[in-house]
A and B are shown apart, each in its own frame.
Chain A
């Protein structure tokens, strides 16, 4: 039972499509994160939002566009993706920026994205 909900669970899209991934949490967390995980690799940070403002962009290509409409919701807009962008996209949230002991990042189950 995850407290971070990601939709859809699976997404197949062509390289010219525009789609969005959605992440929602109702734990009152003020920091939200997007990670990308390729097969047999660890999760890699893409973006961090803190208090609904983008605070970290790990040099992610502009075809990935994050959006934080409110403190509970985080979107990742996708456009003109490449086949190598196929991966598991994980959303996480935490009480606040940084790591405080006993306040770790909580992850959703991810969206498995396939680019044709």
Chain B
């Protein structure tokens, strides 16, 4: 039973445009949501996170939106750059004092075309 779902295995966008990566979850107890980026032959790299008490968190070109009622979050990358091409994993965890377990989605492969 997948608690974190990324239903789009791949996404292709033009350089300079917006990339929107989506993630759905089923466990309403998740407190934090994270996005990791993974290049081939490298480990996942932390990108941005959001607490369940917020609906938006922004860091430079990256913005994560959380819709708790819909159990949905999205990562916006604006403007997209070719170096953003990677696999993006959505992950969720219980908060402080809770589980150390990061539950990952299956990932979305983003390709940014020059």
Q: Known contacts being A98-B95, A99-B95, A101-B51, is A33 close to B45, with CB within 8 Å?
A: no
Interface flags, B34-70, vs A, CB<8A=1, else 0: 1010000111111001010000000000000000000
Contacts of A107 in B (CB 8 A): 36, 43-45
Q: What's the Cα separation between A101 and B54 when bound, in Å?
A: 12
Asked if B89 is at the interface (CB within 8 A of a chain A CB), the reply is yes
Question: B42 and A97: CB pair below 8 A?
Answer: no
Of all chain A residues, the one with the shortest Cβ separation from B96 is A98
Contacts of B104 in A (CB 8 A): 42-44
Asked if B102 is at the interface (CB within 8 A of a chain A CB), the reply is yes
Distance to closest chain A CB from B5 (angstroms) = 10
Contacts of A58 in B (CB 8 A): 101
Q: How many A residues touch the partner, as a band?
A: 20 to 34
Interface flags, A85-116, vs B, CB<8A=1, else 0: 00000101010011111101111111000000
What number of A-B contacts does a CB cutoff of 8 Å give? 73
Question: A109 and B32: CB pair below 8 A?
Answer: no
Contacts of B89 in A (CB 8 A): 42-43
Asked if B98 is at the interface (CB within 8 A of a chain A CB), the reply is yes
Distance to closest chain A CB from B29 (angstroms) = 13
Q: Known contacts being A42-B105, A99-B32, A101-B51, is A33 close to B43, with CB within 8 Å?
A: no
Asked if A76 is at the interface (CB within 8 A of a chain B CB), the reply is no
Binding site for A on B (CB under 8 A): 4, 31-32, 34, 36, 41-46, 49, 51, 89, 93-102, 104-107
Binding site for B on A (CB under 8 A): 2, 4, 6, 31, 33, 40-45, 48, 50, 55-56, 58, 90, 92, 94, 97-102, 104-110
